Amino acid sequence: MKKEIFLGSILLSGIILGGANLKAEDPSADLIQEGKKLFTTKELLGAKYPCILCHKGEKAIKKSKIAGLGDKLPDVINKYLVQKAKGKALPKDSREMKALVAYIVHEHSV
């Protein structure tokens, strides 16, 4: 059973990360850590509000939602950055976007 869950997590991560212009292999711990900093700090994103303000506890991003978004995850991140966090959209291929995607997928794939 553990092996099936592990393989499913790898497959899901590969699909999501691959769709976000990241390699299907696991992102580095540094990239995930950078994503966490971006997710929790408004200044690093140049936003009025940090992502974590709304996306914690019961309002945390659901694994099923992330899986359903696939390669649209960066678009949704940008939508929330602009509309809710009052910041600016990130280029989809930027290190910041890759870090945010890596962190979100990592945090919500377990």
pLDDT tens-digit map of 50-79 = 999 999 888 888 999 999 999 999 999 999
Residue 2 has pLDDT above 60, yes or no: no
Angle at 71 between CA 15 and CA 79, to 5 degrees: 145
Domains and CATH numbers, the chain: 2-107 (1.10.760)
**What sections of the chain are H helices per DSSP?**
2-19, 29-40, 42-45, 63-69, 73-83, 95-107
pLDDT tens-digit map of 72-109 = 999 999 999 999 999 999 999 999 999 999 999 998 86
pTM value?
A: 0.74
pLDDT score of 18: 47
pLDDT score of 26: 79
* Helix axes 29-40 and 95-107, enclosed angle (nearest 10): 90
d(CA 2, CA 86): 41
pLDDT tens-digit map of 22-43 = 445 678 999 999 999 999 999 9
